[in-house]
Amino acid sequence: MTFKVSVVIPAYNVERFIEKAVLSVFKLEEVREVIVVNDGSADGTLRIIKGLKEKYPDKLKVLHHPNRINKGRSASRNLGIKNATSGYVAFLDADDYYLQNRFHKDKCVFENDSVEVVYNAVGYEFYRSLKIEEKGYFDKLNSVTQPLEKGNVFEALLSSKYGYLHLNGLTVKKSVFEKVGYFNEKLPVAEDSDFIFKLGLLCEFKAGNISEAVAIRGIHDKNIYNDDKLYKKWNSKLYESILGWCYGQGTSKENIDSVLKWLWEIKFRDNKDLFHYIYYWIALSFKFPQTIFSIFFIKYFPVVRLRKKLMPSVFR
């Protein structure tokens, strides 16, 4: 298969960044088309996209949702994927941009290995001053410290043991969407992690460039990752989504175990009382009845998970 890529860019009120993002992709010879999905923008985003379309009519596709409404990043990426004509698909957030080396390793890997996903490192550009608590995180690349294909990719992604993958650094065969499905439109955030976790369970991974950035994330005041309350609400929903998906896939007990382990890691950060956790666990088990009829119902029952905190003198 000739290595040509469709790059999907969801765009919502990004007039400050969208031209830089699109032009960074046009520079790359491996790209067949750029698909910008205007997600109901209310600023000058559409005007800028139209101007780019006039200059690059053959390479730029501009799509909208019905009635040009706002449907979110997942729905926008899904619309772009379904309209992609290349054998490979990559993603770019509209406030970010690609570097000249974006697909150099990807092309080599895909042409010489029967893999489905290639992942790369992503760097940062700062449009605002960093907060003190952010400096440790942004001192290093958005990458992993070792190739993930050498171990359990799914567990490594769930635990972030070796770091994090960013969607800007992923290139996938278009055929993976038939296997994994599309982005979860019920998740307003963490939908990228949801998709990457699913890839890790079912697809063959290979490292591209994990020591040098191939794309750049823009760090500014309107980044959605700054919304701690939103992520606190939806991070557990991410793992619930993965749990249900794993049950639907008939995946192994070991993978179910991993998902439940990290779900409780997230939930316990809420610092709620025991009765809250018991109610949550029973409600979740009825939502996924496979849990009730398995060893996991007891293993992850809150009294069992919290036994050391509840009775430290007994479980020392």
In the numeric block, the tokens 């809150």 are attached to 302
- How large a percentage of the chain has pLDDT more than 70? 97
Strand partners, 164: none
17-34: average pLDDT: 97
- Residue 202, judged by CB atoms within 10 A of its CB (0-12, 13-18, 19+), counts as middle
| Predicted confidence (pLDDT) at residue 62 exceeds the cutoff of 80 | yes
DSSP for 254-308, please give it: HHHHHHHHHHHHHHGGG---HHHHHHHHHHHHHHSTTTTTSTHHHHT-HHHHTHH
**Dihedral angle over CA of 175, 176, 181, 184, nearest 10:** -120
- AA letter at 182: Y
Global pTM reads 0.94
Burial letters for 155-187: b for 16+ Cβ neighbours within 10 Å, e otherwise?
Answer: bbbbeeebbebbbbbbbbbbebbeebebbbeeb
pLDDT tens per residue, range 106-154: 999 999 989 999 999 999 999 998 888 887 788 889 999 999 987 789 9
Instruction: Determine contact, residues 217/93, Cβ cutoff 8 Å.
Output: yes
pLDDT at 308: 58
CA dihedral for 159, 160, 166, 170, sign (positive or negative): negative
pLDDT at 121: 98
pLDDT at 229: 81
Give the C-alpha distances (Å, rounded to integers) separating 238 from 72, 134, 245, 262.
Answer: 16, 23, 11, 11
Most distant CA pair in the chain, distance: 72
Confidence tier at 313 by pLDDT (50, 70, 90): very low
| Predicted confidence (pLDDT) at residue 315 exceeds the cutoff of 60 | no
pLDDT tens per residue, range 154-210: 999 999 999 999 999 999 999 999 999 999 999 999 999 999 999 999 999 999 999
pLDDT at 228: 76
pLDDT at 27: 94
**Cβ-Cβ contacts under 8 Å for 148 (sequence gap 6 or more):** 119, 156, 157, 162, 200, 205, 207
247-267: average pLDDT: 95
Q: What letter does residue 144 receive in the DSSP assignment?
A: B
Count CB atoms within 10 A of the CB of residue 42: 9
pLDDT tens per residue, range 79-108: 999 999 999 999 999 999 999 999 999 999
Report the Cα 134 to chain-centroid distance in Å: 20
Pick from 235, 253, 248, 192: which is nearest to 217 by CA?
192
Which superfamily, per CATH, for 5-226?
Spore Coat Polysaccharide Biosynthesis Protein SpsA; Chain A (3.90.550.10)
Please give the residue that has the higher pLDDT: either 10 or 232. 10
52-64: average pLDDT: 97
**CATH 3.90.550.10 in the chain, residues?**
5-226
**Mean pLDDT in the chain?**
93
Please give the residue that has the higher pLDDT: either 158 or 231. 158
